[in-house]
A and B are shown apart, each in its own frame.
Chain A
Amino acid sequence: MNRLFSKDLWSGLMFAGFGVLALVMGSNLAVGTAIRMGPGYVPRMLSYILIGLGLAIVARSLISPGETIERLRWKPVTMITIGVVVFALLFERAGLAPALVCLIFLAALGGQEFKLVETILACIVLTALCVVIFKLGLSMNISIIRGVW
């Protein structure tokens, strides 16, 4: 059990995985020679090193597993990530205010306790703050609600 959830085992696999990914995706890049290096020379070199290091870490973890990964909690990571993605999608299309409200609500839902009144208040305060800092203060070209202001 301990062995299977070792931090080292999975980080080694991650590094090796990134190395393989870079090799595969960079396979169309010309390697060239040591004198006239193509665009693929250095990436390929780095990929091999990364795979080597990753495998070394995996090998070490098989000998001594080290720390195990703490239990994952899905709520914070999913809610925060969805919040940022929704913000990215809405910011240009709908404006700052709707994007902000969605982000704050999703983020608050990802926290330990959700308090509706507090979250609504936070939205109002932060919207006001953003209008003052970014729109009026730094005169950035952003719309608060698309088509209205």
Chain B
Amino acid sequence: MDLLNHVIQGFGVALSFQNLLYCLIGCMVGTLIGVLPGIGPVATIAMLLPLTFKLPPTSALIMLAGIYYGASYGGSTTAILVNLPGEASSVVTTLDGYKMAQKGRAGAALSISAVGSFFAGTFGTVLIVLFAPMLTAMAQKFGPAEYCSLMALGLVAAVVLASGSVIKAIAMVFLGLLIGLIGTDVNTGAQRYTFNIPELSDGIDFAPIAMGLFGIAEIIGNLEKRVGGRHVVAAKISSLWPTREEARLAAPAIVRGTTLGSLLGVLPGGGPTLAAFSSYTLEKKLSKTPQEFGKGAVQGVAAPEAANNAAAQTSFIPMLTLGIPSNAVMALMVGAMIIQGIQPGPEVMTKKPDLFWGMIASMWIGNAMLVIINLPLIGMWVRLLTVPYRFLYPAILLFCCIGAYSLQNSDFHVMMVAIFGVIGYIFLKLGCEGAPFLLGLVLGPQMEEYFRRAMLLSRGDATVFLTRPISAGLLIVTALLLLLMVLPNFRKKREEAFHEEG
């Protein structure tokens, strides 16, 4: 009954007026950026990070989490109504969701996606409650060697499951690890790559880097594309109620999507986008009428929507229990915790039960809020889409600059935003993805710590990583993942999963 007590404690924390308010703010901001193309959760969270310093840690994390799962809700609204995916995770929803809307079933598509997401969110939350304590107990047996191997696995898995060239992504991870080492060496106090800049001696701040890579570079890229006037013709919403037939088809698809999404969310590098694509492929394979897909199949909306939300929830599991982020947003959440003076890892659950259970409870509350925010207010969100990009990007730029400044009240960080904006633009042009870089950057300092400690304990014997069973197991899985990538068959499958119909 320990578990039940924890959950009750969690709801006690999450239901306080202040935390409810921050949860609501997070969900609103999340929906907003989900609706607006051109700004994603990574840039938003980085931008708002400095503002959360003054908040208590629990409220801060509740709000940031709300932005993350709120974005995937908002993204699907525009995917269905105007064929514009607000987020990468709702790209698949445009395939059948928009077709449904054109057939006059926009209301049904929206409510199915909202109900599916809510069901998936609830299921994901229950999974966290059940599995987090187990994983935490396991993680407490980990020594430095195991941690180091676990991080290696996390980084490699993130690369293999992401889209794009694998070798370039791996190089991005290493570049991130290297840049993450900037600052004072913990063991010797030596200055590394600090160029005598005092702001760098505490280590390089990841928030301005994330703003530059995901905010500024994104804006520059969008301005280049020469988007013409956006013709937004929103489909009319009639009744929100699905027909009996639609409900019959959607229900099992939601369950399958939730299951697959929950599994993929836990995997490092999985996350909502992969979950949505995979579950769409799965539904199409299982369906008796695969020719309906792409023409407004209900399952093609229900399953990916459930899957992306389930994955958004379960991707918190490795972050909360092991301190290992599985995607770029989780990397920022790890950073947010460190800023608040909390070392992410298995101790969070035992030492900060309020924070841990409060955050989980708030996710369920947030999911319920999102259904309420989204369905009745849909008209308002869609109208926001008509705001031209030329009004939007100066505001994003401005908030990035002020956010970076307020990190430490120093213009040095604003300069960093400018520098990493240019670097991010170069990455963009060369087809190098920012997410693996950010993961490496956040994990770099910890990984070095664990590596050095493990080597010290083993008296310089590098085989320690292979002689300890758990560590060896983790490294074997890492090696297998890398091996998979060499197999032509798997590579083809992987590319298919990311380019479904286009």
Within 8 A of B (CB), among A16-75: 18-19, 22, 25-26, 29-30, 33-43, 46-47, 49-50, 53-54, 56-57, 60, 67, 69-70, 72-73
A81 to B178, CA, bound (A): 25
Among A42, A67, A92, A104, max chain B CB count under 10 A is at A42
B414 touches A46 (CB 8 A): no
B12 within 8 A of A: no
Known: A107-B397, A140-B406. A15 touches B411 (CB 8 A): no
User: Which chain A residues border B177 with CB–CB below 8 Å?
Assistant: 46
Which residues of chain B are near A70, meaning CB under 8 Å?
429
Q: Is A100 an interface residue (CB 8 A)?
A: yes
- Tell me, yes or no, whether B226 is within 8 Å of chain A by CB: yes
Q: Is B431 an interface residue (CB 8 A)?
A: yes
A85 to chain B: closest CB distance in Å?
A: 5
Interface residues of A in 100-136 (CB under 8 A from B): 100, 103-104, 107-108, 110-113, 115, 118, 122, 126, 130, 134
Q: Complex Cα distance A27/B225, Å?
A: 42
Is B192 a contact partner of A88 (Cβ separation < 8 A)? no
CB of B411 to closest CB in A, whole Å: 4
Query: Do A37 and B455 touch across chains, with their CB atoms under 8 A apart?
Result: yes
CB distance from B362 to the nearest CB of A (A): 22
Q: Are A72 and B429 in contact (CB under 8 A)?
A: yes
Among B190, B390, B421, B461, the residue within 8 A (CB) of A81 is B421
Cα separation A83 to B400 with both chains bound (whole Å): 12
B414 touches A76 (CB 8 A): no
Is A138 on the interface with B (CB-CB < 8 A)? yes
**Residue contact A11 to B432, C-beta cutoff 8 Å:** yes
In chain A, positions 76-91 with a C-beta closer than 8 Å to chain B are: 76-77, 80-81, 83-85, 87-89, 91
B186 to chain A, nearest CB (A): 9
A30 touches B190 (CB 8 A): yes
Given contacts A10-B430, A42-B181, contact A34 B187 (CB under 8 A): no
A49 pairs with B174, CB closer than 8 A: yes
Q: Cβ of B395 < 8 Å from any Cβ of A? A: yes
> In the docked arrangement, what's the CA distance between A32 and B212, Å?
35
Across the interface, A92 reaches (CB within 8 A) one of B220, B411, B425, namely: B411
Please tell me if the beta carbons of B394 and A104 are within 8 angstroms of each other in the complex.
yes
Partner of A56, one of B167, B181, B415, B451: B167
Q: Give the size of the chain B interface in residues (CB under 8 angstroms).
A: 60
Closest to A45 in B: B451
Evaluate contact between B418 and A85: CB separation under 8 angstroms. yes
Whether, in the assembled complex, A145 has its beta carbon less than 8 Å from a beta carbon of chain B, the answer is no
| CA A26 to CA B224, docked complex, whole Å | 37
Distance (whole angstroms) from the CB of A142 to the closest CB of chain B: 8
Distance of A85 Cα from B185 Cα, bound (Å): 30
**Complex Cα spacing A30 to B188, Å:** 10
A141 located at the interface, meaning its Cβ lies under 8 Å from any Cβ of chain B in the complex = yes
Instruction: Report if A39-B398 is in contact (Cβ < 8 Å); known contacts: A22-B178, A60-B167, A122-B391.
Output: no
Give Cα A15–Cα B430 distance, bound, in whole angstroms: 11
A104–B398 CB distance below 8 A: yes
Q: Which residues of A contact B417 (CB under 8 A)?
A: 84
Cα–Cα distance between A30 and B405 once the two chains are bound (Å):
34
Tell me if B223 is interfacial: C-beta within 8 Å of chain A: yes
Majority DSSP secondary structure for residues of A touching B: helix
Closest-by-CB residue of A relative to B405 is: A91
Contacting pair B181 A7 (CB below 8 A): no
With A and B bound together, what is the CA distance between A56 and B166 in angstroms? 12
Contact B422–A81 (Cβ < 8 Å): yes
CB atoms of A43 and B394 under 8 A apart: no
Question: Is B223's CB under 8 angstroms from A111's CB?
Answer: yes
Contact of B192 among A29, A69, A141 (CB under 8 A): A29
| Docked-complex contact B414 and A39, CB < 8 angstroms | no
Residues of B within 8 A of A60 (CB): 167
The answer to whether B6 has its CB under 8 Å from any CB of chain A is no
Closest to B411 in A: A88
Q: Which of A34, A87, A126 meets B455, CB within 8 Å?
A: A34
B329: min CB distance to chain A, Å: 23
Tell me the smallest distance from the CB of A12 to a CB of chain B, in Å.
8
The reply on B490 being an interface residue by CB < 8 A is no
B193 pairs with A54, CB closer than 8 A: no
Q: Is the CB of A39 within 8 A of B394?
A: no
Instruction: Tell whether, in the assembled complex, residue B178 and residue A53 are in contact, meaning their CB atoms are under 8 Å apart.
Output: no
Q: How far is the CB of B10 from chain A (nearest CB, A)?
A: 28
- Are A138 and B51 in contact, with the CB atoms below 8 A? yes
What's the nearest-Cβ distance from chain B to residue A50, in Å? Answer: 5
Residue numbers of B with Cβ under 8 A of A are: 51, 54, 165, 167-168, 170-171, 174-175, 177-178, 181, 185, 187-188, 190, 192-193, 216, 219-220, 223-224, 226-227, 390-391, 393-395, 397-398, 400-402, 405-406, 409, 411, 414-415, 417-418, 421-422, 425-426, 429-432, 448, 451-452, 455-456, 459-462
30 pairs from A and B in contact (CB 8 Å cutoff): A7-B431, A14-B426, A14-B432, A29-B192, A33-B460, A34-B462, A35-B455, A35-B459, A36-B456, A42-B181, A42-B448, A43-B192, A53-B167, A56-B167, A80-B397, A81-B421, A83-B397, A84-B216, A84-B400, A84-B401, A84-B415, A87-B401, A88-B405, A89-B411, A91-B411, A107-B393, A111-B390, A112-B390, A118-B390, A122-B391
Residues of A whose CB lies within 8 Å of any CB of B are 7-8, 10-11, 14-15, 18-19, 22, 25-26, 29-30, 33-43, 46-47, 49-50, 53-54, 56-57, 60, 67, 69-70, 72-73, 76-77, 80-81, 83-85, 87-89, 91-92, 96, 99-100, 103-104, 107-108, 110-113, 115, 118, 122, 126, 130, 134, 138, 140-141
